[in-house]
Amino acid sequence: MGSLSEDGGRLFFRSEAFDVKKSNRRKLSSRTMEEPARSIPVHTECDVLVVGGGPAGTTAAIAAARLGADVVLLERYNHLGGLSTGGLVIWIDRMTDWDGQHVIRGIAEEMLSRLGPDKIAGPQRQDWGSRDPAKAAYWSLRSAAYHNTVTHSPTLDPEWLKAESLSMVVEAGVHTIFHAWGSGPIVEDGRVRGCIFESKEGRRAVLAKVTIDCTGDGDLYAQSGADFETQVDPRDIHGCMNTAWTFAGVDMKAFLHFRAELPEQFSQFMARGRAEMQSFEKPAVSWRDDIAVFMGPRLAGYSALKVEDLSEVEIRSHKLMIKHLAFYREHAPGFEGAYIMLSAPQLGVRHGRRLLALDRVTREMWDGRIAADEIGVSPSLAPKFSNVSVPYGAIVPSHVKGLLAPGRHLACDATSHSFMREIPQCWLTGHAAGVAAAIAADRGVEVADVPIVELQSGLKAQGAFLQKSRQAAIA
């Protein structure tokens, strides 16, 4: 997690981002081709269609199915979990607030509880919120203490998170279709009625009463006519991309000792790495002391919405992985016997689009106000800010019916996106979308007209945390 700083009255989330000169690109053709009209087979029909099986999509599918909805989940890869598994973002950012209160709960909490002690690592519950200097110093090196406060920010085994995510989806009765790329919404009279997907069987369609866009980049809502924005501040890391990787055969205790106890030598080590590689990253701990994860280097100046940019980031990231291995084996204590364990099968994208919706999360909402249509509570970026109440309107498109859009592409300003894009917040908003979609499909109402009290009651029944003033109203 990077550092926080004030700049012109606006809060920025800072970490090292590397500007790179793009490679020479081949000239793109200006020609177009006409595609003949054709009939598309309807693969199946359902109550709720979830497109994308990342953190938001997984919780959405489980939540809707547990309310009795007939749910279909389309996923382009062979696993669930998105960046939390396939992207090797195995560090789960804060699920507690700065007082140690567990605020991101529900299906997310249940999912993590299914991981055995050898598959997840982090502070014990009694230490969440601790400001004990020794504990904070220990966990700050292990990605679980910030601003001198211990938080519930575990690291986990991505393969077991894949397994438990799939188990929960199957147990809920969700029909999951892997290797299916949701390529375009089916829109009739301003209403999304399902999605076309591409697969080995060619182009097929799924029809649904309610569709949930969990693509992460708003691919469906962008094509359906919903309004959105794409800009990010170039000084923030949220527009950066990279492919993460893991090295095994390491001794992270030795490396962390080097980093904490020999700061001058560690500073020299980092400076040498930057001089040799320009784009240079330090490792983070994983769920095991013999495995290190590299979440960067974060490459700036690329767009998650351009295929040539995505391709170049993959190429650069894999080249950097090889260079890092050689450098760390030669110069880093604890990495003498390191070897490549895995490069992430999913590219690490932080930002593509942000929805323009009925409401949105903004910097002004960090003052502790409670949204009337609250669907969950997010920790704030720093102890000086209050918890952030997430409104249902932030996942409901303004001008498109039949569609919900939880996950990192929800409606928020660029500053609030710094935490609303994280995995726990995606679990939170996906959970709410699943409950809302099930209610809308069952009642035959628009997603914008889902009764908030019923939505909040459904979330509470599934273990989600809502702030006390709202909980009292729906108890």
Please state, in angstroms and rounded to a whole number, the distance separating the CA atoms of residues 237 and 18.
9
Please state, in angstroms and rounded to a whole number, the distance separating the CA atoms of residues 114 and 62.
15
Burial classification of residue 429, based on how many CB atoms lie within 10 Å of its CB (0-12 exposed, 13-18 middle, 19 or more buried): buried
Closest CA to 435 of 4, 69, 84: 69
Collect the ranges in the chain with pLDDT lower than 50: 1-13, 470-475
Q: What are phi and psi of 3, to 5 degrees?
A: -100, 160
Q: Is the dihedral of CA 71, 76, 77, 82 positive or negative?
A: negative
Please state, in angstroms and rounded to a whole number, the distance separating the CA atoms of residues 115 and 418.
27
Collapsed DSSP state (helix, strand, coil) of residue 229: strand
Q: Is the dihedral of CA 86, 88, 90, 93 positive or negative?
A: negative
Helix 307-331 vs helix 263-277: angle between axes, to the nearest 10 degrees? 130
Cα radius of gyration rounded to whole Å, the chain: 22
**Cis bond upstream, residue 397 (ω within 30):** no
Q: Percent of the chain, pLDDT > 90?
A: 89
> Are 416 and 361 a contacting pair, CB within 8 Å?
yes
Residue 205: C-alpha distances to residues 35, 185, 400 (Å): 18, 9, 19
Collapsed DSSP state (helix, strand, coil) of residue 130: coil
Burial classification of residue 63, based on how many CB atoms lie within 10 Å of its CB (0-12 exposed, 13-18 middle, 19 or more buried): buried
Closest CA to 197 of 188, 405, 353, 207: 207
- The residue type of 388 is V
- Kindly give the residue spans of alpha helices, DSSP state H, lying in 278-422: 307-331, 417-420
Structure tokens, 129: 């919120």
Residue 234 is predicted with a pLDDT of 62
Closest CA to 131 of 143, 142, 116, 146: 146
306 Cβ partners below 8 Å, 6+ apart?
none
- Note the pLDDT tens digit of each residue in 414-467: 999 999 999 999 999 999 999 999 999 999 999 999 999 999 999 999 999 999
Helix 158-172 vs helix 55-66: angle between axes, to the nearest 10 degrees? 30
Q: Which bin fits 189, alpha (ψ -120 to 50), beta or left (φ > 0)? A: left
Structure tokens, 206: 């799924």
**Cis bond upstream, residue 406 (ω within 30):** no
Please state, in angstroms and rounded to a whole number, the distance separating the CA atoms of residues 444 and 47.
10
Strand partners, 18: 299
> Are 159 and 96 a contacting pair, CB within 8 Å?
no
> Are 418 and 3 a contacting pair, CB within 8 Å?
no
Could you identify the residue written with the tokens 């409104």?
391
Structure tokens, 468: 């006390």
420 Cβ partners below 8 Å, 6+ apart?
361, 378, 390, 408, 410, 412, 429
Residue 8 is predicted with a pLDDT of 38
Percent of the chain as helix, strand, coil, to the nearest 5: 35, 25, 45
Residue 6 is predicted with a pLDDT of 44
